[in-house]
Amino acid sequence: MTSYRDRTEAGRTLADRLTALIGEPDVVVLGLVRGGVPVARVVAERLGAPLDVLVVRKLGMPWAPEVAFGALGPAGVRVVNDMVAGQLSHDDITDVQRREQAELDRREQLYRAGRPALSLAGCTAVIVDDGLATGATARAAVQVARRLGARRVVVAVPVGAQEAYEMLAAEADQVICAQRPPAFTAVGAYYDDFHEVSDDEVTEALTATA
């Protein structure tokens, strides 16, 4: 297994797997906020396709936020893993959802400022993230894209867990995952530089590719 220097290098590697989409009409590259945006920026530039963002919030366990029991997306999409959520009380679930919905609304307002609502009618939506751990966030993103009218949904990531890859393969029209380590640990383990992407970085990427 090789690690990526940073998200830009990961984007280049991923773009090499997506060259079949160059020249196809109505392709839109969607970076999952926030970590997927720098990867998606490179992919969009290589494909000559517009870049936009998809804001999806993971619903994490209260005592282990990195472990998802589900995810939220715009357009009222909510995905829940009942097996994991079954460990939580109704109040726990409500509290996490309320907090993540507020953050989702904040980011939507921030990133869409002065820009129209995302419409994917008739498009091939290429959903890009920096990696797949549980796949819950990407699964919500696929459902959001379909609800927004996407004709075809492709999920593309530089690295991911085999289990998450298989789950998404049943949801998306195509899943491209450049690396699937047999003993997957965490997405950040496969990057030398895995800094937390800031709101400013997301805004700058959108401005630069507008």
CATH code of the domain covering residue 158: 3.40.50.2020
Integer CA distances (angstroms), 51 to 32, 120, 123, 166, in order: 11, 12, 13, 26
- With respect to residue 1, please indicate whether it lies within any of the assigned structural domains: no
- CA-wise closest residue to 102 among 38, 49, 156, 55: 55
Candidate from 1-10, 89-98, 108-117, 125-134 with smallest mean pLDDT: 108-117
Q: Which residues form the domain of 151?
A: 7-208
Residue 142 in domain = yes
Give the model's pLDDT for residue 179: 95
Angle at 169 between CA 206 and CA 163, to 5 degrees: 100
What the block records as the tokens of 56 is 């999806």
Mean pLDDT (the chain) is 91
**pLDDT at position 109 over 80:** yes
Domain assignment present for 2: no
For 177-199, the pLDDT digits (tens) are 999 999 898 999 999 999 999 99
The edge-to-edge listing of strands for the beta sheet with 57-61 is 57-61, 64-72, 78-80
Q: Considering its fold, how many domains does the chain have in total?
A: 1
What confidence score (pLDDT) does residue 210 get? 63
Residue 71: phi and psi, rounded to 5, are: -160, 160
Side-chain-side CA neighbours of residue 181 (13 Å): 17
Average the pLDDT over each of 5-9, 45-49, 143-147 and give the range with the smallest value: 143-147
Whether the predicted model's global pTM rises above the 0.95 cut:
no
Whether the per-residue pLDDT at 1 is higher than 80: the answer is: no
Residue 159 domain-assigned?
A: yes
In a domain, 160, yes or no: yes
What confidence score (pLDDT) does residue 147 get?
Answer: 83
Contacts of residue 39, defined as CB under 8 A and 6 or more positions apart, other chains included, come to 7, 8, 10, 11, 14, 31, 128, 129, 130, 158
Please give the average per-residue pLDDT across 54-63, as a whole number. Answer: 89
Establish if 44 belongs to a structural domain: yes
Q: Above pLDDT 70, what percent of the chain? A: 99
pLDDT greater than 90 at residue 113: no
